[in-house]
Structure 1
Amino acid sequence: MTGVPPVIRTPDQRIRVFVSSTLRELAAERAAARAAIERMRLAPVMFELGARPHPPRSLYRAYLDQSDVFVGIYGASYGWVAPGEEVSGLEDEYNLAPRGMPKLVYIKASQTRDERLEQLIGRIRNDDTVAYLSFDTAAQLEEQIAQDLATLFAERFEESQRPPEPDPAASAGSLSARVPVPYTTTIGREDDIDAVRSLLVGGANRTVSLIGPGGVGKSRLAIEIARATEDLFPDGTYFVPLEGVLEPGLLLPTIAYTLGVRDNGEAALEERISRALADRRVLVVLDNFEQIVDAAPVLVRLYTVAPTATFLVTSRIVLRIRGEQVYEVRALPVPPTTGTRERAAASAACVLFVDRARAADPSFALTDENAADVTAICRALEGIPLAIELAAAKARMLTPHGIAQRLGASLPLLTAAVRDLPERHRTMRATIEWSVSLLSPDDRDLFESLGVFATRFTLDAVESLGSGRPWDGRAIDGIAALVDGSLVTQTDVGGRSVYSLLAIVREYALGRLRERGEDGALRMAHADYYTALVHRVAPGLRGSAQAEAVAELGLELPNLRAAIRHLVYTDRLDDAGDFAWSLLIYWWIVGFLAEVRVWMLELLAKEQPITPHTRAVAWFFALWGQMWQNPSEEAVAGLAECVRLFTESGDEDAAAMAVAARATARVQLPDPDLETAEAELQDAFDRLRGLGNGWAEAITEVSLGRLAWLRGGLDDALTHFDHATALAEAGGDLFTLSVAGNQTGRLLLLRGAADAAEEVFRRTLLVSVRLRFEEGVAYGLEGLCGVAALRGDAERAGTLSAAAGTIRHRIGMFDVDAFTVHTALRDRLRTAQPDLLAAGEAHGAQLTPAEAVAYALPAPDRDIAADIVAHW
């Protein structure tokens, strides 16, 4: 790094600050550190299992490798030194921090301090790469960290002699950034990557399926292929995890969610995906497809609507569809029976074992003495990567000889017990069972309990399941043991520590729960926790906490999906209906209505007794898409039945919203009755006002404005939009503020009021950015394009139009032509100033969403937007 000036990052590339401290002793100080780091708009990296026995060094290294600054906070405790270890996890983290990384250390005043911590602090004082300071209180620490980080970055800025090089992977507009980043090295797959790349060149193979047993490394190979083929797919790569998707009907909604396509019901989801992928050379990775293989024909339909898209699938079974090219993912090669060190070192399987064993025990090395045992382990595990990793994780406790002996004694018995599985499936399952058998009984029970979670989960969620379980009260220690055993992985999402199990490991855990007859109880406990979370967070969707509620629910989305599935699966159908209805605003904002429809139809198909309210909820969601895509008198009648059922159940609030939906359905009919629709919307509005539902009142006012516009009453429409904006502002409702604001701005453009329209579009653009509402961002850019066109600024109009068009294309947006205003204004300039307009369009087509927002806004608003985008 010597001689290379540091790079000053743009706001969408958040600097990561690794925080090291003991956990419980300094809980208040850790909270203060997080607050200081987030105040600086940086990303805290707080490894909650750090500073403890059995530190998983591979994770420390991964976290430190991805961090930019080290912050150490030391109190009185040195931390426990585990058997066989020389240092505590606290010192381990300090030792592993790269020498070139800036280090800020804070030492809390203490009357007594562990002798070994005093020795560590002495080392720190003599380390010329460390800045350290004493403190007394958590509040004082928070201020000091914030000041020191500001000073550090000011110094780095002064050292910077050139503008930053853009980092596409960190850009808000980079599609390849969606591909997961492996936390460990991929070993022995070079030939596979080259072979699959050759299958993807040219786009002749529409679907390439990586087929192999669980644990063979299909997902990891797909990640590496995605990164190795970025040049073949200039329009990006999307990684779609299907691990928690169990219903074939959810394939399209899940693809849409990953693409950023918002399903608001106004157009068929397949059509919106088609528009999003049209004329774009993209790779879509579909991971863990075997659970929904019945949905494979959907891919064939996508071939037609998205002819330039290519699909890379991982699955345990062949899809058997037209256009599929199968690539068998084999286990890693193992040495011959006689294992010498040289032969072992030439074997990818043995190299993988050594690499993962060294992560568990840095002193581990392949030697003449242990080569035969390492070879025996890899042969017994048939070169299956996950099995090898599970065995290597035991290197902290056992020698290779001890591992080999125990495997030799256990695997034959374990594989014999599962003769109904294919051979390599038996080996993988037996390896998991062997790994789990080494856990304490309490940790084994905890591991099996985790099977009810979706792709990721938090420590709080795990602890909520503990009531009455053997591990109740010691979840954090149990999770630590599972991380050490490579059964659980830990990552950082949105500044929070989250945990996950690989798909095959989760299957095993859930299977064990079923065998014990305990899966139902734990599914219920899981559903209860997330139901409580929804009841806590959902009220914020209607008010000033809307953006925060949307963000929090987004982080929990995999388990929200799992929870509603658990509720339906365990026949808690009324609870499932309440759960879905509580999140109506969330489903609407993020565009998840098609997925909810699948669950509600499944609920109705059970043909079990449900309350009128639950039936109304289920039919409301089922009819939502129909009223937009296939409008009919039957849909209007169905929503009228929802009104009756909601009223019968005493939910006047829901009944009023169903009245508004019925009016909207009436407007979509081939021969719409606009007068009746207006009367119904006004009735719904009056009811909602009387009930104090400000959110629904405001969104109904927007519907009244759109209806007035369709009927030619532009003054009335503007009055409705202004009123909706006032209601949304009063309630802190960002979603309706964005929708109403963009409608107001369009009417102002029609009237030629450029200055007033500009003010409205700037405000709504900022609101949409805050809500992460990409449709609103596109509308705001288009509105400001119209403003520029009114003023005759062709280049700016072209830039904003093309930037909005890129977003519109990517997320498959549709619009009612009557409400599209900027295009006519822009196209007038195509004749008057064609060269300037074309130059602007060429510029705008290259902008990321973050860059487009920065271009669109003046300096004060630009700074606010950049601050918000930094947290996307």
Structure 2
Amino acid sequence: RGQLMLALYRAGRQADALEVFRDARRSLDDQLGLEPGEELRSLERGILRHDPELAPPTRSNPMRPLPVPRTELIGRERERTELRALVRRANVRLLSLVGAGGSGKTRLALALAADAGDLFADGVALAELGAVREPAFVAPTVAVALGVSERPGEPLAQTVAEAIADREVLLVLDNFEQVFEAGTFLLDLLGAAPRLTLVVTSRRVLHLSGEQVFTVQPLPDDDAVALFLARAQAEDATRAPTPDALDDIGEICRRLDGLPLAIELAAARARLLTPRQLLERLRESVTALATGPRDLPARQQTLRDTLAWSVALLEPDERRSLTELSIFSSGCSLPAASRVAGADLDRLATLVDHSLLHQDPAGEEPRFLMLETVREYAAEHVRGRRSELAQMHAEYFAELAEEADLRGPNQGLWLERLDRERDNLRSALDHAAATSDAALELRLVNALWRFWWLRGELAEARSRLEHAIAGGSDADFSLLAQACAGGAGIAWSQGDPTRAQELAHEGLRAAAAGGNDVATLYCHTVLGLTEKDARNFERAREHLEKSASISLALGRESDVNVAKMNLGSVAFDSGDYATAVPLWQEVLAYHRGRGAEEGSAIALLNLGLAAYWLDQPGEAGRQFGEAETLFDRIGFREYHVHALHGLAAVAAVEGRGEPAAGLLGRAARLLAETGSAGVPFDVALARNAESTARELLGDEAFAAAFAANNRRDN
């Protein structure tokens, strides 16, 4: 216990040392009825009066002092707290700070060394390995850092191990990735010195026994902006940023992925360029940053050099995989990496170890992400294979989109999967359009229009479909017919019945030429809906009954129920509630039996509407509420708006003006986000809700409640 007390005291932990003494005294008294011996009591008195005799012995070769950073460390408070806690743990003796080039590993390690100095009786030391290329030179560098002199005829590694065998030291080894083979030397040191703790910075995981990995992430937005401002003002202290400039700086930092090195390189240009000018250059190329402060190490003089430093450590096959993986816009799954870039799991794991990729912990399947700065650098080295890779990439994602079942019980899982691949899908579409591959572009929009519709991304859907249709006049008629049907549905959702009818009729002609019965039934569905909205109920029934007949003939039970749902709406709008409600109940039972949330929600929405107009507000509120929950869960934002309007109308009828106004505010925000013109589910529903809520609250209170829920953060 005396040794523990002395070690704690020398580590600056006087209170802990005294607590060990008190614990010993309690144990002796409880178990034996004795007091601690004179030696232990003397040690306690020495600790209380800070006896100089208890100070750790001095060394003839003192360790080199830590470098004093020239600038303040911005942010990283959480990381510093966590790292200090880690090095205090007895079972953490090899701590690796792993991250991409330029992520701030060295700066964070130096901060840890300063923060944790009081925890190690013999202090902290730094071995800088940035200029070391051969593993054999690691031991001499460590010896200098620790103040250990060589002994003639004795291996230096042995000398270092013996010199620190009884010392309590924190040793930081910076930039270990290019001397990876020296890992055994680290293990030898840890074996020889039981009170030694190593902190290693590296762009790759060391995979050594006992290694604790701490991933150094990019800076969050606020800290990234603060870093840019601090460094920019060091260049020109007289320039204060305007609000517009702050917005540009935020975008610059996001463009640079929150990487401290990249941000500092950008800020170094602030004396010559405004944030807006710098942002414009960065939009052209992240690697537009040519030079940084001249006193930075050579490897940090440019962002390109930083990235080249990491890539040069790879084997040729690994470098090829990295460059080919740059074709992915928002990361990739393992199957995508294998199919498009020929990268297997081992190759991906190597790139993760080098911090050139990182694995997304979210989601059920492994997903590998590449920082944009890394991706842009890697893309420059694809050379002659870019077109081939882009085509393979687009073909892969066309097949993935076509595989997606967005109407069945796994709809939610497929929506989430397509959400993750959103940027890759856009890249595939852009490639098909740029290369005038009309068939590929039509395949993609045909597979994706329903995804966009469910997600309420109507503006993008309309634009993509119109472009594909315009360029697909000479393509396969069946593909063109599908695109026209999808475009017609999107145009109807946007409140453009004229264009919806034009595309539906064009789709019918193409479907007849291409023999596409499915496109035919979809076009009749849209024509039926536009006629219903125009209150041409007989023509609406004709089109919808054609849809039902074709669906039945094709054995498409789901589309039969879509037709029943729409025929129920025609009946309801024409005042025939007795026909409408049983049809909707039948459709609800069908979808619930299949676990199909979208179909169930739409049926509930219609039944809620019927209950509202039949003066059954309690039943209407229950069904609107269940529909709203389902639409929110699957992310069907446009129909989510309809459910909110229903709930607002019920709240208003029940005399709850403030909730009604708030629900209308939420609905308005969702409409604005989707780009929908708000095709009325029931034209009177939202109007009644608003007029009644205004009567209950007054215009001023209504406006306040509406605005409070119309903000994007609600």
TM-score by length of 1: 0.49
Q: Which residue matches 1:57?
A: 98
Does the Cα contact within 8 Å between 1:745 and 1:758 map onto a contact in 2? Answer: yes
1:315 matched to 2:280? The reply is yes
Q: Deviations over 1:144-194 (max 9, x none)?
A: xxxxxxxxxxxxxxxxxxxxxxxxxxxxxxxxxxx9659989745426489
Does the Cα contact within 8 Å between 1:666 and 1:673 map onto a contact in 2? Answer: yes
Q: 2:241 aligns with which of 182, 185, 198?
A: 198
Structure 2: distance between partners of 1:603 and 1:839? 47
1:642 matched to 2:502? The reply is no
Q: How far does residue 598 in structure 1 lie from its aligned partner after superposition?
A: 4.0
Q: How far does residue 223 in structure 1 lie from its aligned partner after superposition?
A: 10
Q: How far does residue 554 in structure 1 lie from its aligned partner after superposition?
A: 0.8
User: 1:83 corresponds to which letter in structure 2?
Assistant: E
Larger helix fraction of residues: 2
Say which SS state the counterpart of residue 511 (structure 2) adopts. helix
Q: How far does residue 754 in structure 1 lie from its aligned partner after superposition?
A: 1.6
User: 1:500 corresponds to which letter in structure 2?
Assistant: L
Q: Which residue matches 2:155?
A: none
Higher gyration radius (CA)? 2
Q: Which residue matches 1:613?
A: 478
Give the number of aligned pairs: 506
Q: Which residue matches 2:603?
A: 740
| CA distance 1:331–1:617, shift in 2 (3 Å) | same
| CA distance 1:843–1:629, shift in 2 (3 Å) | closer
Q: Deviations over 1:544-589 (max 9, x none)?
A: 1111221121112111222344445566543443343233432220
Structure 2: distance between partners of 1:569 and 1:637? 26
Q: How far does residue 440 in structure 1 lie from its aligned partner after superposition?
A: 1.7
User: 1:718 corresponds to which letter in structure 2?
Assistant: V
Does the Cα contact within 8 Å between 1:746 and 1:783 map onto a contact in 2? Answer: yes
Q: Which residue matches 2:167?
A: none
1:816 matched to 2:680? The reply is yes
Segments of structure 2 that go 5 or more residues without pairing to the other structure are 1-93, 109-178, 192-196, 200-207, 213-218, 261-275
1:707 matched to 2:666? The reply is no
Alignment of 1:122-521 (within 5 A): 187=227, 189-190=229-230, 192=232, 198-200=241-243, 219-220=255-256, 314-316=279-281, 334-335=293-294, 344=295, 350=296, 374=297, 376-378=298-300, 381=301, 384=302, 386-387=303-304, 389-390=306-307, 432=308, 436-467=311-342, 474-480=346-352, 482-483=354-355, 487-494=356-363, 498-503=367-372, 505-513=374-382, 515-516=383-384, 518-521=385-388
| CA distance 1:588–1:608, shift in 2 (3 Å) | closer
Q: Which residue matches 1:522?
A: 389
Q: Which residue matches 2:453?
A: 588
Does the Cα contact within 8 Å between 2:598 and 2:634 map onto a contact in 1? Answer: yes
Q: How far does residue 714 in structure 1 lie from its aligned partner after superposition?
A: 4.1
Alignment of 1:703-852 (within 5 A): 703-794=566-657, 796-805=659-668, 807-808=670-671, 814-816=678-680, 818-821=682-685, 823-825=687-689, 827-828=691-692, 830-831=694-695, 833-834=696-697, 846=708
Structure 2: distance between partners of 1:781 and 1:618? 31
Does the Cα contact within 8 Å between 2:224 and 2:258 map onto a contact in 1? Answer: no
Alignment of 1:563-602 (within 5 A): 563-568=428-433, 573-602=438-467
Q: Deviations over 1:19-54 (max 9, x none)?
A: xxxxxxxxxxxxxxxxxxxxxxxxxxxxxxxxxx99
Say which SS state the counterpart of residue 763 (structure 1) adopts. helix
Q: Deviations over 1:196-254 (max 9, x none)?
A: 973226xxx9x976799xxx967249999xxxxxxxxxxxxxxxxxxxxxxxxxxxxxx
Q: Which residue matches 1:22?
A: none
Say which SS state the counterpart of residue 314 (structure 2) adopts. coil
Q: How far does residue 500 in structure 1 lie from its aligned partner after superposition?
A: 3.4
Does the Cα contact within 8 Å between 2:661 and 2:690 map onto a contact in 1? Answer: yes
Does the Cα contact within 8 Å between 1:742 and 1:760 map onto a contact in 2? Answer: yes
Does the Cα contact within 8 Å between 1:795 and 1:838 map onto a contact in 2? Answer: no
| CA distance 1:553–1:717, shift in 2 (3 Å) | same
Q: How far does residue 610 in structure 1 lie from its aligned partner after superposition?
A: 2.3
User: 2:322 corresponds to which letter in structure 1?
Assistant: F
1:542 matched to 2:407? The reply is yes
Structure 2: distance between partners of 1:809 and 1:632? 20
Does the Cα contact within 8 Å between 1:710 and 1:818 map onto a contact in 2? Answer: no
Q: How far does residue 490 in structure 1 lie from its aligned partner after superposition?
A: 4.5
1:83 matched to 2:181? The reply is yes
Structure 1: distance between partners of 2:694 and 2:391? 61
User: 2:182 corresponds to which letter in structure 1?
Assistant: G
Does the Cα contact within 8 Å between 2:461 and 2:490 map onto a contact in 1? Answer: no
| CA distance 1:803–1:571, shift in 2 (3 Å) | closer
Say which SS state the counterpart of residue 279 (structure 2) adopts. strand
Q: Deviations over 1:810-855 (max 9, x none)?
A: 6566242843425425634644x538x9879856765699998xxx
Say which SS state the counterpart of residue 452 (structure 2) adopts. helix
Q: How far does residue 609 in structure 1 lie from its aligned partner after superposition?
A: 4.9
Does the Cα contact within 8 Å between 1:452 and 1:526 map onto a contact in 2? Answer: yes
Does the Cα contact within 8 Å between 2:327 and 2:379 map onto a contact in 1? Answer: yes
Q: Which residue matches 2:267?
A: none
Q: Deviations over 1:569-627 (max 9, x none)?
A: 56654344334323343222013454344445554565785221122233334545555
Q: How far does residue 651 in structure 1 lie from its aligned partner after superposition?
A: 3.0
Q: Deviations over 1:284-333 (max 9, x none)?
A: xxxxxxxxxxxxxxxxxxxxxxxxxxx999332899xxxxxxxxx97775
Q: Which residue matches 1:25?
A: none
Name which of structure 1's ranges 804-813 and 541-550 shifts more when overlaid on structure 2: 804-813
Say which SS state the counterpart of residue 452 (structure 1) adopts. coil
Structure 2: distance between partners of 1:195 and 1:489? 40
| CA distance 1:729–1:683, shift in 2 (3 Å) | same
Structure 1: distance between partners of 2:665 and 2:388? 53
Does the Cα contact within 8 Å between 1:765 and 1:777 map onto a contact in 2? Answer: yes
User: 1:524 corresponds to which letter in structure 2?
Assistant: Q
Say which SS state the counterpart of residue 792 (structure 1) adopts. coil
Does the Cα contact within 8 Å between 1:211 and 1:316 map onto a contact in 2? Answer: no
Does the Cα contact within 8 Å between 1:694 and 1:731 map onto a contact in 2? Answer: no
**Matched residues, percent identical?**
20
Say which SS state the counterpart of residue 499 (structure 1) adopts. strand
TM-score by length of 2: 0.58
Q: 1:559 aligns with which of 387, 406, 424?
A: 424
Aligned residues: CA RMSD: 5.0
| CA distance 1:706–1:526, shift in 2 (3 Å) | same
Q: How far does residue 702 in structure 1 lie from its aligned partner after superposition?
A: 3.6
Q: How far does residue 751 in structure 1 lie from its aligned partner after superposition?
A: 2.0
| CA distance 1:712–1:574, shift in 2 (3 Å) | same
Q: Deviations over 1:494-520 (max 9, x none)?
A: 46654334445434544433x33x233
